[in-house]
């Protein structure tokens, strides 16, 4: 008497006569969703961050992909500085003119004794201080603009930006303010620091070298 074929639907597992089905793993064939020995596993995530520049490539301004950065020339930087300086020149001229016109000469009596000291009036001093305050506030706004966009009004007119060399991003107001103070070092040795871009490989002033910044074309 022979044993009947084993019914795979009965009992607790596949017997020797079980017919392979789609639910029965086949040896030697990887099953989706399960780690298989000998097969490299993929994480399913793309390599690198979205929008990141390839390794070793400098990102462009504002991080919009890799870009060939072109340094701003010394002449372009001088032109931008002159424009920024000329913007507030009329305000300074008005302040100093008002101060000068308010100056009164000293007065003496018939015996030649001093009656009153000469000098500017309170109105002249007030106008001059007000003009200085306007120029100071405008300068701070220019630094804020440069820190957030890389450009002052003059730099925008010429088409250049001041960016951090490490990230090629705007410096932020804090570093822009520190950089403006560092220009004192550019001026100390007979203004030679402002001429440094003529021989520096990165077209940098002393202030740029200290703060790690670059002047680049827009």
Range of the domain at 132: 87-149
The token duo for 119 is 């000098």
* CB-CB contact of 203 with 73 (8 Å): yes
Identify whether 122 is part of a domain. yes
Query: Six-digit token pair at 70?
Result: 């072109």
| Cα(174)–Cα(140) distance, integer angstroms | 11
Domain match, 98 and 111 both:
yes
Q: What is the pTM of this model?
A: 0.65
Position 48 scores a pLDDT of 42
> Dihedral (C-alpha) 64, 66, 68, 71: value to the nearest 10 degrees?
50
Both 157 and 170 in a single domain? Answer: yes
Domain end, chosen from 149, 184, 203, is at: 149
Amino acid 36: pLDDT: 53
> What is residue 115's predicted lDDT score, i.e. its pLDDT?
77
Same domain, 145 and 164: no
Residue 22 lies in a domain: no
Q: How many domains does the structure of the chain reveal?
A: 2
Q: Are residues 155 and 214 in the same domain?
A: yes
Residue 216 CA to residue 185 CA, distance in Å, equals 21
- CA 85/CA 157 separation, integer angstroms: 13
d(CA 38, CA 35): 9
Res 113: pLDDT: 83
Measure the CA–CA gap between 153 and 39, rounded to whole angstroms.
60
**Confidence at residue 49, expressed as pLDDT on a 0 to 100 scale:** 43
Q: Are residues 168 and 180 in the same domain?
A: yes
Q: What are phi and psi of 73, to 5 degrees?
A: -75, 165
Are 154 and 141 found together in one domain? no
Question: The tokens 């932020």 sit on which residue?
Answer: 172
Taking Cα atoms as reference points, which of 89, 36, 71, 56 lies closest to residue 165?
71
Give the end of a domain, one of 104, 128, 149: 149
3 state DSSP class of 15 = coil
Report the pLDDT value the prediction gives residue 32, as an integer from 0 to 100.
54
Residue spans of the chain under pLDDT 70: 1-68
| Among candidate residues 162, 153, 176, the one with its CA nearest the CA of residue 88 | 153
Which pLDDT belongs to residue 30?
A: 52
């Amino acid at each position: 008497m022979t044993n009947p074929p084993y019914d795979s639907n009965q009992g607790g597992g596949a017997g020797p006569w079980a017919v392979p089905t789609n639910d029965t793993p086949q040896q030697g064939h990887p099953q989706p969703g399960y780690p298989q020995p000998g097969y490299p596993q993929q994480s399913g995530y793309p390599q690198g961050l979205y929008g990141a520049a390839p390794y070793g490539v400098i990102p462009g301004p504002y991080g919009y992909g890799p870009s060939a950065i072109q340094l701003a020339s010394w002449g372009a930087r001088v032109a931008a500085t002159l424009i920024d300086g000329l913007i507030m020149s009329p305000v300074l001229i008005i302040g100093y003119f008002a101060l000068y016109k308010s100056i009164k000469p000293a007065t003496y009596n018939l015996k030649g004794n001093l009656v009153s000291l000469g000098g500017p009036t309170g109105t002249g001093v007030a106008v001059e201080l007000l003009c200085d305050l306007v120029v100071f506030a405008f300068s701070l706004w220019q630094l804020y603009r440069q820190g957030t966009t890389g450009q002052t009004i003059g730099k925008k007119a010429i088409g250049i930006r001041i960016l951090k060399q490490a990230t090629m991003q705007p410096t932020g107001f804090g570093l822009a303010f520190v950089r403006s103070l560092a220009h004192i070092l550019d001026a100390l040795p007979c203004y030679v620091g402002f001429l440094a871009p003529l021989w520096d490989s990165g077209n940098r002033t002393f202030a740029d070298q200290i703060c790690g910044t670059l002047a680049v074309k827009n």
